[in-house]
Amino acid sequence: MAKRETTPSESEWQIMEVLWESGVPLTSSEIIRRLAGHADMTPRMVRVLMNRLCQKQLLSYVVDENDARVYIYSPLKSREECLEEKSSRFADSFFSGSHANAAAALLKNASLTEEQAEELRSILEACRISETGRDKKGHGR
């Protein structure tokens, strides 16, 4: 049986971005208004996608105390948590779970500045340290 999808689709991600960027809970009307420039995002589609995000347990809502017809939405996962889960699913789906092969495939044709290359070296070093649980001198954390 296929594992249930718990990460946002590309369209759902746009809704999550609105909520992450706002930093505060929003009503569906506020979310729709902020997505107004997206031709493919009709108000009905936004509401359908928000319902899916609630089913995936990525959004929660409370009913407005002054108007029971108004729901106020909040993200249940941070952008970082969703990115981490998305990248793991990507590696699992296309690279047999090998995050190294996934990263190599993404970077193979990339043109990096020296600053970006240094940032990647730092990330790789942090991953190596966290994997072994030891620092460069062999000391435990």
pLDDT tens-digit profile, the chain (141 residues): 555 677 888 899 999 999 999 999 999 999 999 998 776 888 999 999 999 999 999 999 999 999 999 999 999 999 999 998 888 888 888 888 888 888 888 888 888 899 988 998 898 888 887 766 544 444 443
Cα distance between residue 111 and residue 117, in whole Å? 9
How is the chain split into domains, by residue range?
A: 10-75, 79-132
Cα distance between residue 6 and residue 73, in whole Å? 18
Calculate ∠ Cα 105-101-112, nearest 5°. 45
Domain 10-75: which topology? Arc Repressor Mutant, subunit A (1.10.10)
Cα distance between residue 13 and residue 88, in whole Å? 16
CA distances from 137 to 88, 118, 134, 140 (A): 30, 21, 8, 9
Cα distance between residue 66 and residue 124, in whole Å? 51
Residue 74: other Cβ atoms inside 10 A: 13
